[in-house]
Amino acid sequence: MRYPRSPKNLANARSLRRKMTPQERHLWYDFLRYCRPRFRRQELIGPYIADFFCYDAKLIVEVDGSQHFTPELREQDNARTAYFHSLDIRVLRVDNGQVNRNFSGACEGIVLAMQQCGVETGLEME
C-alpha cells in the first residue's frame, strides 16, 4: 500500500537523512539497516517525516530526544501518532537514553514490535 506523501517535505527529509542524531545514526548503521524486512530512513508519510519506517510491518520507530518530553512537543507527538494510527501504522518510540544506555534492549524492543505486527525478522536476540 502506498501512503500519502507531502512533496513539500522531500528536501527536509533528505536533509534529515544527512544530519541524523548520534542515536539515530547508531540505531540505523548498527541495527535497522540490517533488518529484514527492510526499514527506510526519514520516510514521508502524509504531512510528517517518520524517523524509520518498515512497510511490511507497518511500523514506525521514532527516536526521541529530551525535547520530546515537553508538554508542547508531547502534544505534537500525540497528533503524529494519532495520524499514523489512522493509517493502521503502529508507532514505537525509543528515547535517546535507551539507545545510549541499553542499545541491545532497544533493538529487542523493535524486534518484538515487528513480531507483534505479524512480521518475522529472521533476527535472533540474545
DSSP string, 86-101: HTT-EEEEEEHHHHHH
- Select the more confidently predicted residue: 101 or 126: 101
**Are 8 and 41 within 8 A, CB to CB?**
no
For 62-109, write each residue's pLDDT tens digit: 998 766 567 777 888 899 999 999 999 999 999 999 999 999 999 999
What's the CATH number of domain 7-116, 3.30.2030.30, 3.40.309.10, 3.40.960.10, 3.30.499.10? Answer: 3.40.960.10
**Which residues neighbour 29 within 8 Å (Cβ) at sequence distance 6 or greater?**
none
pTM for this one?
0.86
Best-predicted range by mean pLDDT among 3-7, 14-18, 39-43, 76-80? 39-43
Q: Tell me which amino acid residue 61 is.
A: V
pLDDT of residue 3: 85
User: pLDDT-derived band of residue 114, with 50, 70 and 90 as boundaries?
Assistant: very high
User: pLDDT-derived band of residue 125, with 50, 70 and 90 as boundaries?
Assistant: low
Q: What DSSP element (H or E) covers 30?
A: helix 22-30
Distance of alpha carbon 51 from alpha carbon 85, whole angstroms = 16
pLDDT of residue 110: 95
Arithmetic mean of pLDDT, 110-124: 83
Percentage of the chain with pLDDT > 70? Answer: 90
β-partners of residue 97 are none
Measure the N-to-C terminal CA separation of the chain; round to a whole number of Å: 33
